Amino acid sequence: MAAFKLNEKDERRLGHRYPLQLQVDLVMEDGKILPAESCNISDNGIQFKCDSWVADEIEARGIQNHPLDRITLKLIADLPMSGENRLYSRCKVVAARRLSQHEYLLGLEFMDFENNSGNILKRYIKEYCLPA
């Protein structure tokens, strides 16, 4: 059986992903704060794991059964570096994959940043990250 290989058209990732295990807060439009753990980060977004409770809070009708592009939330994270390190970004959900009965992997795309966070992210990637 031939191995399946993604071609460049199939790859949606816009930049390198860098491993990053970090507790993050997801702030929903109603102000509810949900905990999650990041897996990796890039210039364009962040990927995180969450349990089924968090996934249901993000999309009560089923995270894998409905369009995700209308779901926006705010991400708050303290990047593991010295100096100014808090990342604030408004994001949209762009991917969701079920890993197990109670665990999901979600991808967020950064839409815009607050409080100089875009520059903080660039500095973190430049100074602390190596390609995965």
pLDDT at 4: 32
Q: Tell me the whole-structure pTM to 2 decimals.
A: 0.84
pLDDT at 33: 97
pLDDT, position 45? 96
Residue 84 CA to residue 45 CA, distance in Å, equals 19
With helix as H, strand as E and coil as C, how does the chain read?
Answer: CCCCCCCCCCCCCCCCCEEEEEEEEEECCCCCEEEEEEEEECCCEEEEEEEHHHHHHHCCCCCCCCCCCCCEEEEEEECCCCCCCEEEEEEEEEEEEEEECCEEEEEEEEEEECCCHHHHHHHHHHHHCCCC
Helices (H), 1-132: 52-58, 117-128
And the tokens for 59? 């999309």
> For residue 70, what are the CA distances in angstroms to 29, 60, 63, 66, 112?
12, 13, 12, 10, 15
pLDDT computed for residue 69 by the predictor: 73
Q: Which residue carries 């295990």 as its tokens?
A: 21
pLDDT, tens digit, 9 for 90 and up, residues 107-129 = 999 999 999 999 999 999 999 98
Quote the pLDDT of residue 90.
98
pLDDT digits (tens, 9 = 90+) for 22-32: 999 999 999 99
Angle at 19 between CA 66 and CA 97, to 5 degrees: 20
What is d(CA 106, CA 32) in angstroms, rounded to the nearest whole number?
18
Q: What residue ranges of the chain have pLDDT lower than 50?
A: 1-11
pLDDT at position 131 is 59
Residue-level pLDDT at 7:
39
User: Which sequence spans correspond to the domains of the chain?
Assistant: 18-128
pLDDT score, position 12: 55
Residue 62: predicted pLDDT: 80
Domain 18-128 in CATH 1.10.8.60? The answer is no
